[in-house]
Structure 1
Amino acid sequence: MSEEADRRDLESPSVRGVYGISVAAELSGFGVAALRLYEDYGLITPGRTAGGTRRYSDYDLARLKRIAELIDAGVNLVGIGRVLDLETRTGDLERDNRRLEADNAQLRAEQGPGTTSAEPVHEPADDAAAEPETGRPGRRRRPAAGQRTRLRDGPSRQRATGDHH
């Protein structure tokens, strides 16, 4: 993003603090003391003027609305902080994923239909053990949990699953 676009974003009412605490309290439905408490818990971080006066943005008001929803759902303030953090991180990951998907689509388009995929082919690994009947290297099959496995020259035994009856 260019510096001009960054500056324009910071001047946007959605991220720039434009409301004083009393207006934010009225718009959000929370009291002034609650807004200060939420700031102490790190749930909101209003901007500050050079003199230290809190300035709330549209983003802050939207976050306060989400805080109200979580309080109504019975989540405490520490839990709200965790939920908000996870929602922010999830949003960041979703944006990264969309960007990567777009990059991949562009690379595929640039690669053209006549080229082959550069993805590696995954072949199953051979087990070093030989199959008893043929003596050839092969893969041993393990029984599923709870199934019996046959010993070579003996009785069958229960596979260890942590349950012993």
Structure 2
Amino acid sequence: MICSKGVVVQPQSGSNEPNANDKFDDEDYPAYSMGSAARILDTTPAFLRSLDEAKLLTPQRSEGGHRRYSRYQLRIAARARELVDQGTALEAACRIIILEDQLAEAHAINAALQQRIDDRAVDDDRQS
């Protein structure tokens, strides 16, 4: 489910600690406050809270308890906003997005499996 996509990035001790560039490139790093996310998406904080209530998105929380959104979550919220603006009920929009995400994941798995099959066929041809 989409809400389980988020990854918590916590500083680690020693040389393995993520640097600023790693965080910047991380699709799942919760870099955006609710206000920033709402401005980026040209929507309201209430709409973002409704996505949380519908369990489409589960934003991380700052130490102060404020919602923090990742770029991945912003794309999901933008898709929800698009569907709702087209007249789709929020619950239906959430279901559509979840199904789209599952389909994309299935396509990626199929592509990876097909690549393994192709690689094995090449290896078999080389051995014969």
Tell me the SS of whatever aligns to 1:55: strand
Distance verdict in 2 for CA 1:10–1:93, change over 3 Å: farther
RMSD between aligned residues = 2.5
Where does residue 117 of structure 2 map in the other structure?
104
Does the CA-based 8 Å contact 1:38-1:44 persist in structure 2?
A: yes
Q: Residue 15 of structure 1 is aligned with which of 4, 23, 28? A: 28
How does 1:1-165 map onto structure 2 within 5 Å?
12-112=25-125
Change (3 A) 1:112 1:9: farther
The 2-side partners of 1:114 and 1:57 are apart by 47
* TM score, norm. by length of structure 1: 0.59
Q: Which has the higher contact order (CA 8 A, sep 6+)?
A: 2
Change (3 A) 1:26 1:11: closer
- The structure 1 segments of at least 4 consecutive aligned residues displaced by more than 6 Å after TM superposition are 8-11
- How many percent of aligned residue pairs carry the same amino acid? 28
State how far apart, in whole Å, the 1-side matches of 2:71 and 2:96 are: 20
Structure 2, unaligned runs of 5 or more: 1-15
Which ranges of structure 1 fall in alignment gaps of 5 or more residues? 116-165
- Offset, 1:104: 0.4
Offset at residue 59 of structure 1 (A): 1.2
* Residue 104 to residue 26, structure 1, CA distance change in 2 (3 Å): same
Per the normalisation by structure 2, the TM-score is 0.75
- Give, in angstroms, the shift of residue 50 of structure 1: 2.9
CA-CA distance at 1:73 after TM superposition: 2.3
- For the 8 Å contact 1:9–1:15, the answer to whether it is kept is no
Q: CA deviation at 1:63?
A: 1.2
Count of residues in Structure 1 that have an aligned counterpart in Structure 2: 111
> Is the 1:17–1:55 Cα contact (8 Å) retained in structure 2?
yes
Q: Deviations over 1:114-141 (max 9, x none)?
A: 85xxxxxxxxxxxxxxxxxxxxxxxxxx
Structure of larger gyration radius:
1
Q: Is the 8 A contact 1:16 1:47 kept in 2?
A: no
